[in-house]
Amino acid sequence: MKSFEYQRPETVAEAIKAASKPGASFYAGGTNLLDLMKAGVRTPDSLVDITRLDGLKRIEPQKDGSLRIGALVRNSDLARNADIVSDYPAIAEALLSGASGQLRNSATVGGNLMQQPRCAYFYDPNSACNLHEVGEGCDALEGENGKHAVLGWTKTCIAVHPSDFCVPLAALGARVVVDGADGAREISIDDFYSLPGSVQPPGSALKKGEIITEIILPSDAKRFAPWARYIKLRDRTSFAFAIVSAAAMLHVGDGRIKDARIALGGVAAKPWRAREAEDALNGAEANEASFRKAADAALAGARPSGDNAHKIELAKRILVRALKAAADGTPPKMPDLPGSVFAVGKEAR
């Protein structure tokens, strides 16, 4: 591993100043960054340790009913928070379906947003990858790409965003608060990520030196709490990234869907808000026929980026399954296998 300078600022302002220098990188839980450094994919000149910034470790309900989550809150703490479990249960289910208990105890929610793609070619510094350097090309296009993107991809990059947590955030319309040399600003979760273009690879809206300080969950999203699920299809039941996943949230009355929120994971370079599927469900009966129609709408623009046409059908099926589970109602307590296809239906209650 390359030698680096280590800094531990006491304030957000100090952290921004330190991270604004060339070659600097923020460090919190380090569950992704350290892997990249060991592989030689990321070689920062300095690490800015932000773990002492206590102001970013709070979960605070607001007077307007929204919930503010500090960027340094640990994944495990957020998953067990009473407000999250009662008002935003799909977030708890998504968090508990990710990684392992040890990693959740270290990983932060801000770091979760900044996860890098789990593409084997990105993790190999000797492979051509536009995320290493724009213009290198993309070895994944002709390589092992069965788990790569089917929505929003270009030949510049076909990697997918790996986060479970960000999928329900996208469905709920969360906002990300960042701070930097030009002051603080709020960014919608949808605008926080960019898809690959004809030349530019995917990325985030963060400017050099900017730091995520908070995530805001809107108050109006609480109405989905009685009918909210996150389901994840993966190679094994634990400690594996999603092949495809879905967050499904419904507001049901008199047997009909008054409102729906849907997002998919594992299909694109960002958590994918499926607004076409939401439109298809609004006013429809909460039944399998409606759910299949919504799934078709969600994946209407999908196309294989390689040997992964199967992911389109898998994404449809996992979305239908998530919608069925949501329509059955949020379980009174967290399933034994959160987020798993084996924790859906009567056995989850």
Is residue 344 within 8 A of residue 321, CB to CB? The reply is: yes
The pLDDT of residue 346 is 46
Neighbour count for residue 336 (Cβ, 10 Å): 10
**pLDDT above 50: residue 143:** yes
Closest alpha carbon to 97 in 179, 25, 166: 166
CA distances from 79 to 59, 147, 341 (A): 11, 27, 19
CATH 3.40.50.10320 correct for 222-342:
no
Q: What is the pLDDT of residues 19-63, one digit of tens each?
A: 999 999 999 999 999 999 999 999 999 999 999 999 999 999 999
Closest alpha carbon to 79 in 230, 219, 187, 186: 230
Is residue 328 within 8 A of residue 345, CB to CB? The reply is: yes
Neighbour count for residue 136 (Cβ, 10 Å): 13
- The long-range contacts involving 237-243, CB below 8 angstroms and separated by at least 24 positions, are 237/337, 237/340, 237/342, 238/100, 238/337, 239/99, 239/100, 241/118, 241/162, 241/266, 242/162, 242/164, 242/266, 243/147, 243/311, 243/314
CATH for the stretch 56-114+161-219: 3.30.465.10
- pLDDT band of residue 1 (cuts 50, 70, 90) is confident
d(Cα 75, Cα 342) in Å, to the nearest integer?
22
- pLDDT band of residue 347 (cuts 50, 70, 90) is very low
**CATH architecture group of domain 1-49:** 2-Layer Sandwich (3.30)
**3-state class (DSSP) for residue 97:** coil
**pLDDT above 80: residue 256:** yes
What is the rounded average pLDDT of the residues 167-186?
98
- pLDDT band of residue 130 (cuts 50, 70, 90) is very high
Q: What is the pLDDT of residues 257-306, one digit of tens each?
A: 999 999 999 999 999 999 999 999 999 999 999 999 999 999 999 999 99
- Per the document, the length of the chain is 349
CA distances from 337 to 214, 292, 344, 347, 349 (A): 28, 25, 9, 10, 12
Which residue in this structure is represented by tokens 């900017």? 210
What is the rounded average pLDDT of the residues 120-143?
98
Domain borders along the chain are 1-49, 56-114+161-219, 222-342
d(Cα 315, Cα 317) in Å, to the nearest integer?
5
Nearby residues of 254 by Cβ (< 8 Å), 6 or more positions away: none
Domain 56-114+161-219 matches domain 222-342 at the CATH topology level: no
Q: What is the pLDDT of residues 202-251, one digit of tens each?
A: 999 999 999 999 999 999 999 999 999 999 999 998 889 999 999 999 99
Q: What is the pTM of this model?
A: 0.97
Q: What is the side-by-side order of every strand in the sheet holding 228-234?
A: 228-234, 242-253, 256-265, 272-273
**pLDDT above 80: residue 131:** yes
- pLDDT band of residue 255 (cuts 50, 70, 90) is confident
The pLDDT of residue 279 is 98
The pLDDT of residue 147 is 98
Question: What is the rounded end-to-end Cα distance, in angstroms, of the chain?
Answer: 48
The pLDDT of residue 344 is 58
